[in-house]
Amino acid sequence: MIKSLPASVRPLRRRTLLTAALASGLGLATAAPAVAAAHRRLTGGYVLPAPTGPECLGTVSLHLRDRSRTDPWVPGHQVRELMIQIWYPARSTRGHLPAPWLSPGAVPHFAEVFGLPADRIRATVTHGRAGAPVARRAGGHPVLLYSPGLGGDRGTSSALVEDLASHGYIVVTVDHTHDASEVEFPDGRVEVAALPPDLDDEVIGRVADVRAADIRFVLDQLATLAAGRNPDAGRRPLPDGLRGAFDLDRVGMFGHSLGGSTAAAVMHDDRRLKAGVNLDGTLVGARAVGGSDRPFLLVSSDHGVGAEDPTWDTFWTGQRGWKRELRMKGAVHGSFNDGVVLYPQAAAEIGLTPELLAEMVGALEPQRSVAVQRTYLRAFFDRHLRHRDGRLLRAPHPSFPEIEFVR
């Protein structure tokens, strides 16, 4: 478990130990309380917020091996291994079961770290149907990558990921092995976080570099998939229609916390990324603050006027492409992951007081918090990857008083 953070990262990571590994997100219901309660009675699981788009969802996980790198965190691991998950518009979901929110073997460790009941997490499912065929689209679907925050698993921002996929994006989520709290591989092996115990600036810098290399490798593997080859280490079957589904001329990336910094760093170095978003993350390293000539959106929690993160100021100066900084009123660092809808459902059973819950997920109603984030995230990528109307990003909108235009 992450117990401390260096000074350069701490300002945008005000969390309790219970939420420490949740820098990337958790997933639960934005459904009405009565619906959520009924779901728990029937299934024992929490409820994920329903996607708002017209597309039904498919999903598949892949085990990738980067033989050009050794694992940087566990001596003796000669190959860097990752798990990714692809979320996509599905042609049909008939006969395909809902995918779990967290792979079963990872649940015990996750429950121990986050203080959430294992049976609840085990019974929580997504709106994605495992292995469903991919919806065909001429030219393919625009592609987004998602990187969680420090200690986070690939599935801990399902509320945002699923919604983007329901609106026609392919979204690829990444587990940064041994940085993530836990990662289950297809053979049943569970690799847990193995970062050095003292997370000083030097270690965080190394973590940032490893994450950027992970993302560049994943981009390489997406090209392999697009060409019709199967990069899965076990050559497990891929969903029908995956070949030709990726429009790799329209690729963006977003991330929460250190994942947002990762998006900025890869944008700086790799022109395959055409647009990026940082959700409340301090920017770590020269690449992350260096900017690029492509669009980038910064979205912060409500840390107060005059409490600007200095790394964002440096980035703003270096960013040559389109740029915008927004602040979400009533939000805290934990508002930008699925914990914002998970913990309100779990509060009574794990003994969270209203005061502690507000500290963890913010003052905004969870349903509203998720809806606002979904709307602005999609508006950004729709404008810069699909060339659709971007009026929502030009000036404050009366329908979204929670969003403050900082610059």
Q: What gap in Å lies between CA 38 and CA 58, rounded to an integer?
A: 25
Predicted confidence band at 3 (pLDDT cuts at 50, 70, 90)? very low
pLDDT score at 21 = 34
Tell me the C-alpha distance between 225 and 238, whole Å: 10
Statement: residue 341 has pLDDT above 70: yes
Whether the per-residue pLDDT at 330 is higher than 90: the answer is yes
User: Coil, strand, or helix at residue 284?
Assistant: coil
Q: Using the Cα atoms of residue 115, residue 30, residue 96 and residue 90 in order, give the sign of their dihedral.
A: negative
Asked if the model's pLDDT at residue 34 lies above 50, the reply is: no
Percent of the chain having pLDDT more than 70?
A: 88
The average pLDDT across 221-250 equals 96
What DSSP designation does 44 have?
S
Average pLDDT on 355-368 reads: 94
pLDDT bin (cut points 50, 70, 90) of residue 15 is: very low
For residue 317, CA distances in Å to 267, 285, 321 come to 16, 15, 11
**Of 37 and 170, more confident:** 170
Tell me the domain boundaries of the chain.
10-405
CA distance 196 to 263: 23
Could you please state the CATH topology (level 3) that the domain comprising 10-405 is classified under. Rossmann fold (3.40.50)
pLDDT for 133-147, tens place per residue?
Answer: 999 999 999 999 999
CB 234 within 8 A of CB 62: no
pLDDT of 115: 87
- The 3-state secondary structure of 189-205 reads CEEECCCCCCCCHHHHH
Mean pLDDT (the chain, rounded): 90
Judged against a pLDDT cut of 60, whether residue 401 lies above it is answered with: yes
Q: How far apart are CA 102 and CA 107, in angstroms?
A: 7
The C-alpha atoms of residue 126 and residue 113 are separated, in whole angstroms, by: 21
In this structure, the chain runs to a length of 407
Under the banding of pLDDT at 50, 70 and 90, the label for residue 304 is low
Please give the pLDDT value at position 306.
Answer: 61
Lowest mean pLDDT among 5-19, 26-40, 274-288, 352-366: 5-19
